[in-house]
Amino acid sequence: DGVDPVEIETVAYTVEDGVAWVSLNRPDKRNCMSPRLNRQMMRVLDELEFREDVGVLVLTGEGTAWTAGMDLKEYFRETEAQGLKGTRGAQRESYGWWRRLRWYQKPTIAMVNGWCFGGGYGPLFACDLAFAAEEAQFGLSEINWGILPGGGAAKVATELTNFRNAMYHSLMGENVDGRKAAEWGFVNEALPLDRLKDRVTEVAKVLLTKNPVALKATKDAIRRVREMTYDNAEDFLVRAQEAANSFDNEGRKEGIKQFIDDKSYKPGLGAYDK
Ligand code: ACO
C-alpha cells in the first residue's frame, strides 16, 4: 500500500500454532528503534491484534540484540533537525506503539535475546511477561551519552525494581545481565539463550489454554490496580468482571460446571477445557 519496502522490513513476523512471533528486524543496527521501525511496528500490531489465529504475541529481536534503544541518528539527531514538530512526531510514534502494546488485546511476552537499552524499557514494560537470556544485557545508558532516561524508561525502572536499584542503574549507566534482571524484577526468568525460545513457547502454550476474555480482563486489571487505593481497586475489579461477563457469558459458567458437576478438572491445577 505504498509503504517503503525498507520500512516494511524493519519488523518481521510469523504466526505459528496461535503465537505471533514478532521481531525487531534491524540486526545490523542492533534493532535500535528508528521512526520507520516505530511506524512499521504499529502497523504490525494493528494487523495481528484481532486475528483469530493469534492468541499470544511474543516480541523478540533478530541477531544479537533485543533492541539497542532509540536510534541516536534517525530518532534523535535527524528528527531534532526538523525542530519541535519532528521531535514530538517521533515521540508520538514510539510511545504510541508501546502504549498500544501495554493494553494489547492478547497477552504479550518479551523474549529478550540480547542487548536491551534505554528506550527498549518501554516495550519491555509494555509486555505482560518477560523472559531473558542469561547472556542478555540491560542498561539505562542515557547517562553515558548525556541525557536522562526518558520515554518512560525512568518510570519503568522504578515500577519494576526497587528505588536503590533504579537509582544506581540509571546514575551509573552500568548494565545488568539477564540473571540480575530477573533478580531485580525486570523479567520473570532468565535462561541460557539456547533454552529461551523453548521456555517462552511453553509459557505461550499455557496461555493459549486459558479463556481469552479472562486473559484480557486479568492483564488490564493487574496494570490498573497498581495505581489505585484498595477500595478503588475493589470497585474497579467488580465492574471489570461484570464488563467481561458481557463478552463471555458461557466460559466461566462452563469452568464452574466442569469442576462442580463433571469433575473433569481442578481449577487449582489447570484450565478448563474450552
Ligand atoms: N542508535 C543508532 N545506531 C546504533 C545504535 C543506536 N542506539 N545502536 C547500535 N547502532 C549501530 C552502530 O552505530 C553500528 O552502525 P554501523 O554498522 O553503521 O557502524 C551498528 O549499529 C552496530 O553497532 P556496534 O556498536 O558495532 O555493535 P556491537 O555489537 O559492538 O555493540 C551495543 C552493541 C553495545 C548495543 C552498541 O551498539 C551500543 O552501545 N549501542 C547504543 C546503545 C544505547 O546506548 N542506546 C541508546 C539508549 S538511550 C535511549 O534509547 C533513549
Q: What is the pLDDT of residues 196-238, one digit of tens each?
A: 999 999 999 999 999 999 999 999 999 999 999 999 999 999 9
C-alpha cell, 32 = 535500535
Residue bearing the CA closest to ligand 1, atom 11:
29
Dist. CA 204 → ligand 1 center (Å): 30
ipTM confidence: 0.99
Residue bearing the CA closest to ligand 1, atom 42:
68
C-alpha–C-alpha distance, residues 127 and 188, integer Å: 11
What integer pLDDT is reported at residue 248 of this predicted model?
Answer: 82
Check residue 150 and report its DSSP letter.
T
Backbone dihedral angles phi then psi of residue 31, each to the nearest 5 degrees:
55, 30
C-alpha cell, 257 = 460446571
Residues of the chain with pLDDT under 70: 1
C-alpha–C-alpha distance, residues 161 and 70, integer Å: 22
What integer pLDDT is reported at residue 249 of this predicted model?
Answer: 76
**Per-residue CA distances from 157 to 108, 125, 164, 248 (Å):** 19, 9, 10, 36
Which residue among 25, 26, 28, 32 has the greatest number of ligand 1 atoms within 8 angstroms of its CB, and so is best to mutate?
A: 32
Going by C-alpha positions, the residue among 163, 68, 160 that lies closest to residue 112 is 68
Which amino acids bring their CB within 6 angstroms of ligand 1?
28-30, 32, 64-65, 68-73, 115, 117-119, 141-142, 151
Dist. CA 63 → ligand 1 center (Å): 13
Residue 162, C-beta contacts closer than 8 angstroms, at least 6 positions apart: 184
Which residue among 64, 70, 72, 125 has the greatest number of ligand 1 atoms within 8 angstroms of its CB, and so is best to mutate?
A: 72
**Per-residue CA distances from 60 to 99, 124, 256 (Å):** 17, 10, 37
Which residue among 10, 30, 140 has the greatest number of ligand 1 atoms within 8 angstroms of its CB, and so is best to mutate?
A: 30
Q: In the beta sheet, which residues pair with residue 116?
A: 67, 138
pTM of the model: 0.96
Q: Ligand 1: which atom is nearest the Cα of residue 115?
A: 35
